[in-house]
A and B are shown apart, each in its own frame.
Chain A
């Protein structure tokens, strides 16, 4: 346990997971007040809050491992230090786009947490078990919407399929391997992005084919890589600016 590489590997894993959750949560929260119907507005906003809550707990775990305070990590890091994937950075688009992203992201999240619930790194295994129910609902919500819209009108079908076309390749950015894949697998912390990716492909393709969605063949799955190394899309920087705007207007203010 005193092995520094072990700790660095765990930290790397926690950072990317937390950053994905924070940025996804922030993006989805942008629908608050402008959702398609009242009930869905509430549901989507509530799930966005769940995601920010997950991020907070991962940052807290990092803090206990010697990293900065969660508020500092979340709001006072430069863009380059963020490890989120490109999928979560993209603007919300129209509602179909946000729903399809939610579907693609949350299935990966659900499977990741399922894998982590057996992790040898106990604090992470405990969090993964704790969030199981929340993410189960998120996935249930996503599946129900996809099914609903693919069995809906011509317009709803004509909106969902193009969103898959647009997002599917970028979704592979979730599974960009990190520098510590071997260590994590060897130590039993996390079986790795490759394992997760194939589980995800299996789940997503079976739900999609059941609902008549065609998934494009993705030849280069590394097309949207970079996020895990700190290279981001042009959309992350404006998001961070907006997220930290109030904080920067009065640094050190006590709430």
Chain B
């Protein structure tokens, strides 16, 4: 048997197929995966918090509210179909590599950091 999904809604025990059969998941039988973005306060950024499965965006909002926003402050929620997210392949992650001598490009390179910390009274930093 070929396992189509670990999702119990798709591979159900009572529907286990025979040895060589393949389970075909019909359209809409497996719901759509939505990425959930949570915003704590109006004006702040939405932060990715996880996923929900739902038949459409409206239902995804309904589920996301209780799954990700029932504790703590929430101002808004976005849901986006996972399939609409474009990402790089991990084998291309090397495009992010940078050479050691280019630290002048980093904000951390600048010496003013110490003065800012000093002004903030943050004595933990040297």
Proximity string of chain A (142-167) to chain B, C-beta cutoff 8 Å, 1 when within and 0 when not:
00110110001000000000000000
List the A residue with the shortest CB-CB distance to B71.
A46
Collect the chain B residues with CB atoms within 8 Å of residue A43's CB. Answer: 62-63, 65-67
Least CB distance, A153 to chain B, in whole angstroms? 8
B9 at interface by CB-CB < 8 Å: yes
Least CB distance, A45 to chain B, in whole angstroms? 8
Collect the chain B residues with CB atoms within 8 Å of residue A37's CB. Answer: 9, 31, 53
A-B contact pairs, 28 of them (CB 8 A): A37-B9, A37-B31, A37-B53, A38-B53, A39-B52, A39-B54, A39-B63, A39-B66, A39-B67, A40-B63, A42-B63, A42-B66, A42-B67, A43-B62, A43-B63, A46-B70, A47-B66, A140-B62, A141-B62, A144-B58, A144-B59, A145-B59, A145-B62, A147-B58, A148-B55, A148-B56, A148-B59, A152-B55
Interface centre among B58, B62, B65 (most CB of A within 10 A): B62
Collect the chain A residues with CB atoms within 8 Å of residue B52's CB. Answer: 39
Collect the chain A residues with CB atoms within 8 Å of residue B56's CB. Answer: 148
The prevalent SS among residues of A at the interface is: helix
Collect the chain A residues with CB atoms within 8 Å of residue B70's CB. Answer: 46
Total of A-B residue pairs, C-beta within 8 Å: 36
**Besides the contacts A39-B52, A43-B66, A137-B65, what 20 more A-B pairs have beta carbons closer than 8 Å?**
A37-B31, A38-B53, A39-B63, A39-B66, A39-B67, A42-B63, A42-B66, A43-B62, A43-B63, A43-B67, A46-B66, A47-B66, A141-B62, A144-B58, A144-B62, A145-B59, A145-B62, A148-B58, A148-B59, A152-B55
Considering the chains assembled together, what is the distance between the CA atoms of A47 and B56 in angstroms? 21
Within 8 A of B (CB), among A146-203: 147-148, 152
Collect the chain B residues with CB atoms within 8 Å of residue A42's CB. Answer: 63, 66-67
Residues of B near any A CB (own CB < 8 A): 9, 31, 52-56, 58-59, 62-63, 65-67, 70
Number of residues from A at the complex interface, CB < 8 A? 16
Collect the chain B residues with CB atoms within 8 Å of residue A152's CB. Answer: 55
Contact A39 B55 (CB under 8 A): no
Collect the chain A residues with CB atoms within 8 Å of residue B59's CB. Answer: 144-145, 148
Considering the chains assembled together, what is the distance between the CA atoms of A39 and B65 in angstroms? 10
List the A residue with the shortest CB-CB distance to B64.
A39
Considering the chains assembled together, what is the distance between the CA atoms of A137 and B9 in angstroms? 26
Considering the chains assembled together, what is the distance between the CA atoms of A159 and B53 in angstroms? 22
Considering the chains assembled together, what is the distance between the CA atoms of A141 and B64 in angstroms? 11
Least CB distance, B38 to chain A, in whole angstroms? 15
Interface centre among B31, B52, B63 (most CB of A within 10 A): B63
Collect the chain A residues with CB atoms within 8 Å of residue B55's CB. Answer: 148, 152
Interface centre among B54, B65, B66 (most CB of A within 10 A): B66
Considering the chains assembled together, what is the distance between the CA atoms of A43 and B54 in angstroms? 13
Considering the chains assembled together, what is the distance between the CA atoms of A37 and B10 in angstroms? 11
Least CB distance, A154 to chain B, in whole angstroms? 13
Least CB distance, A36 to chain B, in whole angstroms? 9
Collect the chain B residues with CB atoms within 8 Å of residue A39's CB. Answer: 52-54, 63, 66-67
Within 8 A of B (CB), among A73-111: none
6 tightest Cβ-Cβ pairs between the two chains A and B: A39-B63, A43-B66, A46-B66, A42-B66, A39-B52, A144-B62
Least CB distance, A136 to chain B, in whole angstroms? 11
Considering the chains assembled together, what is the distance between the CA atoms of A57 and B53 in angstroms? 34
Interface centre among A37, A39, A43 (most CB of B within 10 A): A39
